[in-house]
Structure 1
């Protein structure tokens, strides 16, 4: 499920923007956004991005765990710490740039849940 708000800068979407789901207007999310305060929307967006960053960090860590040899991904005691910091920064950067789409779906789910609680 691909969700987008057509706003690449990470700020809150304007009232006139229609959220999209799989290339079609997402009226359910649009209605939910009207019920959720802007501060809660920003918090949900940050939480969704953090979630994707943690997922990507886990994925990148697994990808580099079996690499042996010399160089930045070698198998020395110092490179293990460096590699973990590198994968963490990579994951944050990827998530901030849009990631693999997980944060969009998590954001949509969080907003829909908050809107349901709001009534």
Structure 2
């Protein structure tokens, strides 16, 4: 997806095929909700799409922050624990974006609303 010269689909390197597919689905979902809101002049759908994008962005921040932590410790992480951590981070990101979040959803909403 390309918006105002920013191509979101190639912004960040992706570690595996599953993440690539998941990221492209999330971006396609955002793009389709955005188109639908634009066509129907629906402010609620636009606001929801902006919150979903902020949630996606916060989740990416969590992933990148976790990559900076050195593996180690007394007990090695299992694959199940890693999956649980990813799911927990997704929920944290959703909750953050539904409250005030980091403000990205509000900025996007104001910017995109002016183009409706």
TM-score by length of structure 2 reads: 0.58
For structure 2, the 5+ residue unaligned runs are: 1-37
Alignment match, 1:96? 98
What are the residue-to-residue correspondences of 1:29-108 with 2, within 5 Å?
Answer: 40-67=42-69, 68-69=71-72, 75-108=77-110
Deviation at 1:59, TM superposition (A): 0.3
More helix as a share of residues: 2
Larger Rg belongs to: 1
The count of corresponding residues between Structure 1 and Structure 2 is 76
Q: CA RMSD in A?
A: 2.3
Q: Where in structure 1 do 4 or more consecutive aligned residues deviate above 2 Å?
A: 65-71
Q: Distance in 2 between matches of 1:40 and 1:70?
A: 50
For structure 1, the 5+ residue unaligned runs are: 1-35, 115-119
TM-score by length of structure 1 reads: 0.56
Q: Distance in 2 between matches of 1:108 and 1:97?
A: 17
Using CA pairs below 8 Å that are at least 6 residues apart, which structure has the higher relative contact order? 1
Q: Distance in 2 between matches of 1:102 and 1:81?
A: 27
Alignment match, 2:21? none
